[in-house]
Amino acid sequence: MGRNTLDDAEKKRSRKTERALELLARLCEAYPHAFVARGGGRYPVPLSIGVHEEIRACYPDEARHVIAGAMRIYTSGIAYQKALAGGGARVSLDGQPNGEVTADQAELARQTVAKAVGGRGKSRKNPRREAVTDAKLERLKQHFTR
């Protein structure tokens, strides 16, 4: 595969992502009770199952892949996954309760969040050195708690 073919594929993917992000911005503006813009000062709420069909009905001229892309971008975000992990009611486009987050869905979201943030904040120090330090701290703790 030549470089031009890769460039064309990247441009096409970029245009698709851009269109999905544009739709997402319109959804945040049109349905503020269901969609929250990043940095909007509010946290996302779990969306009802099948909300993409509601979106399709409201935006009949929008391509399915653009709607799917917008939903993928929105629902794969850590803030949205945290909202799912918290459980509770799901909402439709108008912000009205429409279903509940199941225990399985909440657990999957907790695992997704843990996996996504698991690498952050981990020490990059030498594990042997950390073990020695931990052992010294434990001895000191035992010494001073006698």
pLDDT tens for residues 8-24?
Answer: 666 767 888 999 999 99
- Give the mean pLDDT of 99-128: 81
Residue 126: CB atoms within 10 Å: 10
pLDDT of residue 123: 46
- Give the mean pLDDT of 94-113: 95
pLDDT tens for residues 51-83?
Answer: 999 999 999 999 999 999 999 999 999 999 999
What is the CATH architecture of 3-144? Orthogonal Bundle (1.10)
Question: In the chain, what are the domain boundaries?
Answer: 3-144
pLDDT of residue 139: 73
DSSP letters of 47-116?
Answer: BPTTHHHHHHHH-TTS-HHHHHHHHHHHHTSHHHHHHHHT--EEE-TTS-EEEE--HHHHHHHHHHHHHH
Q: Which amino acid is at 23?
A: L
> Which are the contacts of 102, defined by CB distance < 8 A and separation ≥ 6?
none
34, burial (CB in 10 Å: exposed 0-12, middle 13-18, buried 19+):
buried
